[in-house]
Amino acid sequence: MALYKTILSLGAGIVLSVSGASAQSYPERQINLVVPFAAGGPTDTVGRLIAEKMSADLGQQIVVENVAGAGGTLGAAKVAAAEPDGYTLLFHHVGIATSATLYGNLTYDTLNAFEYIGLVTDVPMSFVARKDFPPGDVKSLIAYLKANSAVVTMANATTGGASHLCGMLFMSAIETELKTVHYKGTGPAMTDLLAGKVDFMCDQTTNTTAHIKDGTIKAYAVTTPARLAVLPDLPTAIESGLAGFDVSIWHGIFTPKGTPAAVNERLSAALQRALADPDLVARFAELGAEPSYAADATPGALKARLEAEIPRWKAVIEKAGIYAD
């Protein structure tokens, strides 16, 4: 028995020293960044930008893996179950908080399945439609949607996607139910909007700004209280008569629970330096996105955000009657 105990404690000592050494030399190989939505969409766009900058800082490639479906919960589940060694990261948005209420069958416990690296960015949303959609402004858009609710199609990235939440809040604000079409992300939804195969969506400016600027889609409003510098002619939803319609989408980076503290600290430091990079700041600005402040690009700020957002959105979801569909 005594011998058995000694072997056990020796074993524990060896494990500790190995993980300590690997945390110090981290990263030694390629890192996987799981984006829980389709390639080419808004989360993918921001995920790839931040991956490129953090790769340079870490001296190892961060490769984006799109694990799309079920409002981002499939990708989150994959990371929750991954080896906690710093080589699998999750880039997610507010949907990680809302899905805790929207999905009854999650394989992970949202608040306890992850370690926190930091907040990355806040992204406004915009109401957009196919180029030849008849209404010209928000007022006529609302009248048109009310008159044609049986035929107008609204795209979203499945339950829990930012597009789903924004669309549900919009339908609730105008008291009109529209037919929704689900995609694995708003990247493929945008392809269909550009082709005129779907009518309307509320999507992040990281996916819509370039198309709004080149006139290939029609835009009605942004969902932030102030207009965006990159789209100065686009009114806000609030100034267009949708009182209090203020939605922007925060994003953060997570690692699986149990990832060594030194690894998480190294990733946070890389994130902070990436967000201060003038090239990244400029590229975010072109997309209407704001990099998070240094104080928010920290584990504590992301953890606090998630803890506050789960109950905040639970109340919104229940009030608006939003459920998984």
Nearer to ligand ASP, 162 or 301 (CB): 162
Nearer to ligand ASP, 70 or 174 (CB): 70
- 252 counts as binding ligand ASP under rule CB under 6 A: no
How does DSSP assign 111-163, residue by residue?
TTSEEEEEEEEEEEEEEEEETT-S--SHHHHHHHHHHTTTT-EEEESSTTSHH
- 157 counts as binding ligand ASP under rule CB under 6 A: yes
- 155 counts as binding ligand ASP under rule CB under 6 A: no
Nearer to ligand ASP, 40 or 241 (CB): 40
Q: How far apart are CA 10 and CA 15, in angstroms?
A: 9
Q: Nearest approach, Cβ of 29 to ligand ASP (angstroms)?
A: 27
Cβ contact 209:288 at 8 Å: yes
- 267 counts as binding ligand ASP under rule CB under 6 A: no
Q: Which H or E element spans position 53?
A: helix 42-58
- 114 counts as binding ligand ASP under rule CB under 6 A: no
Q: Nearest approach, Cβ of 179 to ligand ASP (angstroms)?
A: 17
Please name which of 325, 313, 310, 284 lies closest in space to residue 121, comparing C-alpha atoms: 284
- 39 counts as binding ligand ASP under rule CB under 6 A: no
Q: Nearest approach, Cβ of 91 to ligand ASP (angstroms)?
A: 10
Among 43, 73, 88, 99, contact with ligand ASP (rule: CB under 6 A): 43
- 208 counts as binding ligand ASP under rule CB under 6 A: no
- 272 counts as binding ligand ASP under rule CB under 6 A: no
Q: How far apart are CA 253 and CA 268, in angstroms?
A: 9
- 299 counts as binding ligand ASP under rule CB under 6 A: no
How far is the CA of 169 from the CAs of 15, 179, 235, 312, in angstroms? 50, 14, 18, 14
Cβ contact 85:78 at 8 Å: no
Q: How far apart are CA 236 and CA 246, in angstroms?
A: 9
Among 23, 27, 33, 42, contact with ligand ASP (rule: CB under 6 A): 42
Q: Give the count of residues interacting with ligand ASP (CB under 6 A).
A: 15
- Extract the tokens encoding 286: 């072109």
148-184 b/e with 16+ CB inside 10 Å = b? eeeebbbbbbbbbbbbbbbbbbbbebbeeebebbbbb
Among 118, 124, 185, 252, contact with ligand ASP (rule: CB under 6 A): 185
Q: Nearest approach, Cβ of 176 to ligand ASP (angstroms)?
A: 20
Query: Which residues lie near ligand ASP (CB under 6 A)?
Result: 37-38, 41-44, 93, 95, 157, 161-163, 185-187
